[in-house]
Structure 1
Amino acid sequence: MTAADTKAAGPPLSAADTPEGGTVHKSRPAGTGRPKRKKGALLPYLLILPAIVALAAVYAYPLVKTVIMSFQDMGRRELWTGESPPWVGFDQFTNILGDAEFWHVTLRTVVFMAVCVVATMAIGLLVSLLMMRLSTWVRLTLTTALIAAWSMPLLVASSIFRWLADSDYGLVNTIIAKFAGDDWLGHNWFLDPLQGFAVIAALVIWGAIPFVVITLYAALTQVPGELTEAAQLDGASAFGVFRFVTWPVIKPVFIMVTTLSVIWDFNVFGQIWLLRGNKPEPDYETLGLYSFSKAFTSTSFSQGTAIALVTVLMLSGVAVYYLRQLMKTGEVE
């Protein structure tokens, strides 16, 4: 480098003149302030676009139609003639919320859901803990049986439970009669709604247990073995190990499965419909069946859709809670 070049470049920078105590930063070339978007950045969105369109076509239109119909008064005449039903505003909701039968059905639905969810989660947790102590081949056999029960169509499962509780040829009556006397032969379980709902709850719980057991077992396999051994060496009981070591690990999964069970059991329809021979009595109506009955039996379609919309609003809080727990689990992971 010649003297002329040094003079043109100017005097050298001192440590005080340079930023951060002497470190000279090279200026970024013009036009490179932001990183360029990669060419394949839109590919994931394009791949899920068909699924989004399909979901919108299947769910969005019926939901919008339900909301619109709930503010109208659509009857059999409008359905057959295609005439535009008159708008009635919030009259459908006022009639529903002011009807004592609606609240009675709602209470019945909540109680039925609570019983099913508590029993499902309790049995599912106990079976999943049992699977941790089984040998490999026994555990695989039990898992296969659970998956087979889970994959059984609802129609087939309902037919089996109808045969089990049949008043003339039911296996349940035959077994009870051997211990309690012949008075149980010919006993009709569905004459008393409490006994009838016990049979329906058994079907719902039986169908939900496989999912709960397999999911909770997967969560139990993530519990660190060294923590369990350390707690046992410190003298912790089996309940203490579960409470302070196992439960904190599986708690997020347990809460999510419980939330899903609440949503599913609140919307039970097919089990009651099939066990009652497609003609459920008013004492067996939950909100789903009550909405169906109002819409198609009483031909008050707008009132039925209004009841369905109220049910969706009731479950929206549970759905939001489920999504929050799902997001929290993702953040922890």
Structure 2
Amino acid sequence: MTAEATVQGLAIAETPGAPGTPVRRRRRRPLTPYFLIIPSVAILAIAMGYPLVWQLITSTQKFGLAQQFGQPAPFVWLDNYVRLATDPYLWTVILRSVAFCFVTAGVTMGLGVLVALLMKAVGRAVRIVIQIAMLLAWAMPVVAAMTVWNWLFDWRRGVVNWVLTALGLPFQDHNWLQNPLSFFFVAMIIVVWMSVPFVAFSVYAGLTQVSGEVIEAAQMDGASPSQRFWSIIVPIIRPVLGIVLLLQVIWDLRVFTQIRLLQDAGSIASETNLLGTYIYQLGTGSSDFGMASAVSVFVLILTVAISAFYVRSLLREDES
């Protein structure tokens, strides 16, 4: 018997009832990778599972200031959720948060893709300058950045009002943070400014995987720049765009620091609350931690519901 026949004989077995019919044995999946990720999964489960369980329990309790000093928290079960469902102000905050989230995420994605295309088109020196500028904006602490932005939009001595007034526009002593519409316009500018670097770097990394030969071939065939972008580049980098958009939607839905610091600079909190600041107002401001936990659970469910479409699309692409 030859060596080749021996190997074939070891890899083939006969099925009962059908002599001579070869079948392929199933390969056993190695268990080592699963054992290696157990420590990481355990750490994540403890770090994220305990706060989640605590939120779920607290959302069914009347947990106020007295409970922080040791008094037992009575269970009210679903009363907190019933109060939230019948609170018209909560639904106003939800609609406001969802609208702000999608508008901000859309603007961020558009500008991020444009900056990524610009970095791909320019030379090495200009690209390095752009990357350094975005890294500085991305690495700046939020509180330090908000101090600068509050100074820029200050209604008495801010640079923005000074420049607009110098151009002949009626913006002298205009309070940007007093009006809810202009408040969210300023908030959108700040959030977009802080988020564009992440989108730009991620999309630029995806653009480096697009073959230049394919682009040149399409250009020789007469494809316009927009046709090359939508028909070639976008399908190739769609997984990158999908995951970046998903992360951006989640971050913008839960934005807190920028909104809170802008509110402290001189706006009406009840007219500019988003879900993050509303939870803070319920918990820290009103010491109603049961209601704050219920809203937090609702935000978690809303985040999962909004991101479910993108997650399903990513899973389908991964399977294909």
| Range into which the TM-score falls when normalised by the shorter chain | 0.7 to 0.9
Trace 1:196-275 onto structure 2 (pairs within 5 A): 196-275=183-262
Q: How far apart are residue 331 of structure 1 and its match?
A: 4.8
In structure 2, the CA distance between the partners of 1:229 and 1:83, relative to structure 1 (3 Å rule), is same
Kept in 2: contact 1:73–1:88 (CA 8 A): yes
Distance 1:34 1:125 in 2: 45
In structure 2, the CA distance between the partners of 1:126 and 1:35, relative to structure 1 (3 Å rule), is closer
Task: Provide Cα deviations, 1:226-263, integer angstroms capped at 9, x if missing partner.
Answer: 22111111111111111211111112211211111100
Trace 1:151-166 onto structure 2 (pairs within 5 A): 151-166=139-154
Q: How far apart are residue 304 of structure 1 and its match?
A: 0.8
Trace 1:33-44 onto structure 2 (pairs within 5 A): 41-42=31-32, 44=33
Q: How far apart are residue 276 of structure 1 and its match?
A: 2.2
Q: What is aligned with 2:274?
A: 286
Distance 1:150 1:168 in 2: 28
Distance 2:103 2:209 in 1: 29
Supply the AA of the counterpart residue of 1:250: I
In structure 2, the CA distance between the partners of 1:24 and 1:152, relative to structure 1 (3 Å rule), is closer
Q: What is aligned with 2:112?
A: 124
Q: How far apart are residue 52 of structure 1 and its match?
A: 3.2
Q: What is aligned with 1:15?
A: none
Deviates more, 1:97-106 or 1:268-277: 268-277
In structure 2, the CA distance between the partners of 1:267 and 1:26, relative to structure 1 (3 Å rule), is closer
SS at match of 2:121: coil
In structure 2, the CA distance between the partners of 1:34 and 1:64, relative to structure 1 (3 Å rule), is same
In structure 2, the CA distance between the partners of 1:274 and 1:24, relative to structure 1 (3 Å rule), is closer
Supply the AA of the counterpart residue of 1:275: L
Aligned mate of 1:143, from 105, 124, 131: 131
Kept in 2: contact 1:252–1:325 (CA 8 A): no
Q: How far apart are residue 180 of structure 1 and its match?
A: 2.3
Q: What is aligned with 1:171?
A: 159
1:71 to 2:60 alignment = yes
Distance 2:37 2:309 in 1: 25
SS at match of 1:72: coil
In structure 2, the CA distance between the partners of 1:246 and 1:75, relative to structure 1 (3 Å rule), is same
In structure 2, the CA distance between the partners of 1:35 and 1:268, relative to structure 1 (3 Å rule), is closer
Distance 1:36 1:324 in 2: 29
Aligned mate of 1:133, from 118, 121, 136: 121
Distance 1:296 1:305 in 2: 12
Q: What is aligned with 2:292?
A: 304
Aligned mate of 1:95, from 75, 83, 102: 83
Q: What is aligned with 1:113?
A: 101
Distance 2:232 2:11 in 1: 54
Kept in 2: contact 1:256–1:325 (CA 8 A): no
Task: Provide Cα deviations, 1:270-308, integer angstroms capped at 9, x if missing partner.
Answer: 001112228861111101111121122222110110011
In structure 2, the CA distance between the partners of 1:300 and 1:37, relative to structure 1 (3 Å rule), is closer
Flag structure 1 segments of 5+ consecutive residues without an equivalent: 1-22
In structure 2, the CA distance between the partners of 1:87 and 1:246, relative to structure 1 (3 Å rule), is same
Distance 1:113 1:99 in 2: 21
Task: Provide Cα deviations, 1:130-166, integer angstroms capped at 9, x if missing partner.
Answer: 1111001111121121112111111111111101101
Q: What is aligned with 2:22?
A: none
Kept in 1: contact 2:150–2:265 (CA 8 A): no
Q: How far apart are residue 47 of structure 1 and its match?
A: 4.8
> How many residue pairs align between the two structures?
301
1:295 to 2:283 alignment = yes
Percent identical residues: 35
Kept in 1: contact 2:113–2:203 (CA 8 A): yes
Root-mean-square deviation over aligned CA pairs = 2.5
In structure 2, the CA distance between the partners of 1:84 and 1:34, relative to structure 1 (3 Å rule), is same
Q: What is aligned with 2:15?
A: none
SS at match of 1:132: helix
Q: How far apart are residue 48 of structure 1 and its match?
A: 4.1
Q: What is aligned with 2:4?
A: none
Distance 2:10 2:140 in 1: 68
Supply the AA of the counterpart residue of 2:133: A
In structure 2, the CA distance between the partners of 1:308 and 1:278, relative to structure 1 (3 Å rule), is farther
Kept in 1: contact 2:177–2:262 (CA 8 A): no
